[in-house]
C-alpha cells in the first residue's frame, strides 16, 4: 500500500486460527447410547463435551482425548438436547433427540 506521501507501507502479518472441529453424533435420535466421532484440524489433545437441555442448562459434561466417544443417556429424560464440543478455540453444537 502507498501512503499519501508516496511511500510504501506494509500492514503487519496477522495470525489466523485455522482450527476446525467436525462432529458426527449417531444414532440420532437415540434411546440410550450415542457415539460422538470427532474430526479436527489443528486440534489440541482434550475435547470438552457438554450436553445442554432446551432450557440452556448443562445436564452432562465429559472430557476426552479420543476421537470417538460413547455416551450413556439411559438415565436422561426424553427430549431435545444440544451436544456442544469444544477444542481449543473451535466450538461445534449439534442437536440430539432422545426418545424412550
Taking the domains of the chain in order of start, what are their residue ranges? 20-98
Torsion of CA 35, 22, 38, 74, to 10 degrees: -20
Confirm or reject CATH 3.20.20.10 for domain 20-98, answering yes or no.
no
Using a cut of 0.85, tell me whether the model's pTM lies above it: no
pLDDT values of the chain reduced to their tens digit, one per residue, 100 residues = 566 777 776 666 555 555 567 889 999 999 999 999 987 655 667 889 999 999 999 999 999 988 889 999 999 999 999 999 988 778 889 999 999 8
Amino acid at each position: 500500500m502507498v501512503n499519501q506521501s508516496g511511500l510504501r507501507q506494509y500492514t503487519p502479518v496477522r495470525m489466523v486460527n485455522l482450527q476446525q472441529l467436525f462432529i458426527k453424533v449417531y444414532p440420532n435420535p437415540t434411546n440410550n447410547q450415542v457415539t460422538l466421532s470427532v474430526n479436527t484440524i489443528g486440534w489440541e489433545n482434550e475435547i470438552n463435551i457438554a450436553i445442554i437441555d432446551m432450557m440452556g442448562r448443562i445436564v452432562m459434561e465429559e472430557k476426552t482425548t479420543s476421537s470417538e466417544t460413547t455416551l450413556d443417556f439411559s438415565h436422561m429424560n426424553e427430549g431435545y438436547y444440544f451436544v456442544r464440543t469444544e477444542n481449543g478455540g473451535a466450538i461445534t453444537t449439534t442437536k440430539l433427540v432422545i426418545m424412550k
